[in-house]
């Protein structure tokens, strides 16, 4: 059976990327995030995708047509109010689509 000193020395012999306890430390969070980014970036490059743009949005935003249908089909005052608020997001949905089109047509 190993004593604590031997176990600690064994951990010290590990390379940093093999030491999961080390990698999972809170202080290593930024490095883990960088690795996640690099992994995704290399995966895209492996598929011939050389540039991307991330657009943050809302999963609640609906296409204008779907928003109109939701307003038309809403029953009750609260449901109508919610549908109208979601309908207001439809403008942003269309702008995001237009932006994506411009970027994809002109991008590298």
The rounded mean pLDDT for the chain is: 85
* pLDDT bracket for residue 1 (50, 70, 90): very low
Residues 41, 46, 50, 54: what is their CA dihedral angle, to the nearest 10 degrees?
Answer: -40
Residue 67, classified by CB atoms within 10 Å of its CB into exposed (0-12), middle (13-18) or buried (19+), is buried
What does 51-75 look like in DSSP terms, one character per residue? --------TT---HHHHHHHHHH--
pLDDT of residue 106: 84
pLDDT in the model for residue 77:
93
**Residue 37 contacts residue 31 (beta carbons within 8 Å):** no
């Amino acid at each position: 059976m190993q004593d604590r000193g031997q176990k600690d020395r064994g951990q010290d012999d590990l390379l940093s990327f093999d030491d999961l306890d080390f990698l999972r430390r809170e202080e290593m969070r930024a490095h883990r995030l960088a690795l996640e980014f690099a992994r995704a970036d290399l995966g895209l490059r492996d598929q011939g995708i050389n540039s991307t743009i991330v657009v943050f949005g809302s999963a609640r935003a609906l296409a204008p047509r779907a928003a109109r249908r939701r307003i038309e089909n809403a029953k009750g005052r609260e449901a109508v109010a919610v549908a109208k608020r979601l309908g207001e997001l439809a403008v942003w949905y269309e702008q995001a689509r237009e932006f994506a089109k411009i970027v994809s047509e002109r991008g590298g």
